Amino acid sequence: MTDKTILSVDNLALSYGSNPILKGVSMQLRRGEVVSLLGPSGSGKTTLLRAVAGLEQPHHGSVSIAGRAIYDAAAGIDIPAEKRDLGLVFQSYALWPHKTVFDNVAYPLKLRKVGQNEITQRVHAALKNLGLDHLAERYPHQLSGGQQQRVSIARALVYNPPVILLDEPLSNLDAKMREEARAWLRNLIVEMQLSALVVTHDQSEAMAMSDRILLLNGGVIEQQGTPTEMYGQPQTYFVADFMGSNNIMNGRIGDIKGGEARIDLDNGISVWGLRRTNAAIGHEAKAVIRVEQARLADAGGHNRAELDLATSMFLGDRYEYVFHAGPDLLRAWGKGHEAPGRRWLELPADAVWIF
Amino acid sequence: MIRSIINSILIGTLGGALAVGCYLAVGLATHRQNDGLSRLVDYIVLTPRAVPGLMAGLAVFWVFLFVPFLAPARSTLFSVWFAYAVVWLAYGMRLIQSALMQVGPELEEAGRLVGASRARVSRDITVPLIRNGLLGAWLLVFMIFEREYSTGVYLLSPGTEVIGAQIVSLWASGAVDVVAALSLINMALVGIGLAVALRFGVKLHD
């Protein structure tokens, strides 16, 4: 552990009754870093965040903030949530409906026995920072979803916690606002040099917002790394499948040459790709290629197949081509409209992963 | 006669509020606690209603008779209130608990996270949020206490009569006209209680 580590989770395990939710998760968050906890529902990402916050009861492992143990099963340490001094932004924002925006944000300071003048000054500074100063006297139900989210962030930041935890911060906003809020939130975190742990189920949100991603699957970390590593070099089929829009095809390994392998797909195509499995020749495997990597070609060649183009869909910034390949539907993106018919599709060997 | 009216008003308004306060204290102590003790309390509070009010009243009478430091309070209104509050504990707790369950758990968790202890969260967040639920609970408890008499039969003594008991004894002596008058007064009192509760935001319908 270096002195830059602000949050350290070591081998944390948690069960609901006899149902294990976290099966030994270890992670570090460095000062000024944004780490996303990504995973499908039921993967334990929210449970991990809540365990760090002190809202769930683990039974094994340890958690420390800036070198101070806040939970340690072996040493019998379990600091209650209110003494952990963390900031948490809830998915539902959890603003207190009976308090004004000002009182919501002032409450953490009031609990810390800060003087009235300083409270007024710090709350207004926090609200101003988030562009909410004019809404101080309103009640939460009088605000839009985006404004409520900002109040919730202001409340979590006003007492300068060392780490801020965000639970699906964007999921309650509508699709268009979500993209704007994503950029705004990332900018805020970077500008204020916050250390943040963000839970999300949306891989593009995780990639856009974070310096590192931890992908959880069934209570364990499947893979962690920078967004580019996670997207470009998935180590397992689960990661490849989760991180992008993919064409996935089943087949058997036909040939192996060093780090590459040929897969003979059930749909009749044979392609070469990067070997990510130890399966021997003749064994079942899966070929995965990102939709944006598959492309139309003019003529036959290496890793190309002639297929039926069923339709072209206009998506605004691009077209999506849908090909029939035996039982599979393959998708590819391109610039122009293409009439249905026989077309060559290229699946570049360096973009195909074989698991 | 006047004394019984005053006693009934006292036990309904102040006694009702005090009882709701006690139920609230028990409710908050077990609120969102999932340990064995809290579950035990959930069952224990039902027991006073498992016996007839008359018997529960007798039990309270014995408690006040044989517990030394309670004996002086036996012939005061306090003993009557105590019996009422114990007997209607099960109802009161249901009212309080259903109000408490309506507070979103994340509102309380948010309080803990920003640095408030459980007690502070109860005081600053939970209780203000269930204010209307508490008033509704008070209204129901008030109406029950106002007309209740069977529980208190063994505890009533000169000076602590309530309207209900008065009506029964007057009926036995054939004073039908006074019984009618007292009944009207009782209904008027319940009506006033309802009006006060409505004034403070209790909603009986949308």
Distance to chain A for B133, nearest Cα, Å: 14
Would the CB atoms of B112 and A98 count as touching at under 8 Å? no
Crossing angle, helix B2-30 and helix B131-147, to 10 degrees?
140
Q: Find which of A55, A56, A79, A96 to mutate to test the B interface (most B CBs within 10 Å of its CB).
A: A96
CA B80 to chain centre: 11
Residue B50 lies in a domain: yes
What pLDDT is attached to residue B132? 87
What pLDDT is attached to residue A2? 53
What pLDDT is attached to residue A3? 64
pLDDT per residue as tens, chain A (355 positions): 456 899 999 999 999 988 999 999 999 999 989 999 999 988 999 999 999 999 999 999 999 998 899 999 999 999 999 999 999 999 999 999 999 999 999 999 999 999 999 999 999 999 998 888 899 999 999 999 889 999 999 999 999 999 999 999 888 888 888 888 888 889 888 888 889 999 999 988 999 999 999 999 999 999 999 999 999 999 999 999 999 899 999 999 988 988 899 999 888 888 999 998 888 888 999 999 999 999 888 888 888 988 899 999 999 999 999 999 888 899 999 998 888 889 899 999 899 999 9
Long-range contacts of B123-130 (CB under 8 A, 24+ apart): B124/A107, B125/A96, B126/B28, B126/B31, B126/B100, B127/B24, B127/B28, B128/A98, B129/A96, B129/A97, B129/A98, B129/B103, B130/B96, B130/B99, B130/B100, B130/B102, B130/B103
Would the CB atoms of B116 and A90 count as touching at under 8 Å? no
Residue B116 has its nearest CB partner, among A82, A86, A95, at A82
User: What integer best gives the mean pLDDT of chain B?
Assistant: 89
Residue B102 lies in a domain: yes
Which pair of tokens denotes residue B48?
Answer: 């006073």
Residue B205 lies in a domain: no
Residue B206 lies in a domain: no
- 3-class SS of residue A70: strand
Q: Which residues pair with A123 in a beta bridge?
A: none
Would the CB atoms of B114 and A98 count as touching at under 8 Å? no
Residue-wise pLDDT tens digits, A157-178: 999 999 999 999 888 888 888 8
Q: Is pLDDT of B161 > 70?
A: yes
Q: ipTM of this predicted complex?
A: 0.82
Would the CB atoms of B109 and A94 count as touching at under 8 Å? yes
What pLDDT is attached to residue A1? 47
Structure pTM?
Answer: 0.84
> How many angstroms separate the CA atoms of B15 and A10, rounded?
54
What pLDDT is attached to residue B16? 94
What pLDDT is attached to residue B193? 87
Residue B204 lies in a domain: no
Would the CB atoms of B115 and A94 count as touching at under 8 Å? no
Q: Which one-letter DSSP state was computed for residue B206?
A: -
Residue-wise pLDDT tens digits, A213-247: 999 999 999 999 999 999 999 999 999 999 989 99
What pLDDT is attached to residue A42? 87
Q: Find which of B32, B102, B114, B132 to mutate to test the A interface (most A CBs within 10 Å of its CB).
A: B114
Residue A108 has its nearest CB partner, among B104, B115, B125, at B115
Residue-wise pLDDT tens digits, B71-106: 888 888 899 999 999 999 999 999 999 999 999 999
CA B98 to chain centre: 16
Q: Is pLDDT of B202 > 80?
A: no
> How many angstroms separate the CA atoms of A167 and B109, rounded?
13
Could you tell me the residue range of the domain that residue B148 belongs to?
2-199
Residue A90 has its nearest CB partner, among B110, B116, B125, at B110
Residue-wise pLDDT tens digits, B4-42: 899 999 999 999 999 999 999 999 988 888 788 888 988
Residue B77 lies in a domain: yes
Which residues of B sit within 8 Å Cβ distance of A? 104, 106-107, 109-117, 120, 124-125, 128-129
- 3-class SS of residue A348: coil
**φ and ψ at B129, to 5 degrees?**
-75, -25
Q: Which one-letter DSSP state was computed for residue B122?
A: I
Would the CB atoms of B116 and A53 count as touching at under 8 Å? no
Q: Which one-letter DSSP state was computed for residue B81?
A: H
Q: What is the CATH number of the domain that holds B167?
A: 1.10.3720.10
| Domains of chain A, earliest start first | 5-237 (3.40.50.300), 246-354 (2.40.50.140)
Q: Find which of A47, A70, A88, A158 to mutate to test the B interface (most B CBs within 10 Å of its CB).
A: A88
Distance to chain A for B36, nearest Cα, Å: 14
Would the CB atoms of B109 and A90 count as touching at under 8 Å? yes
Q: For chain B, how many structural domains are there in total?
A: 1
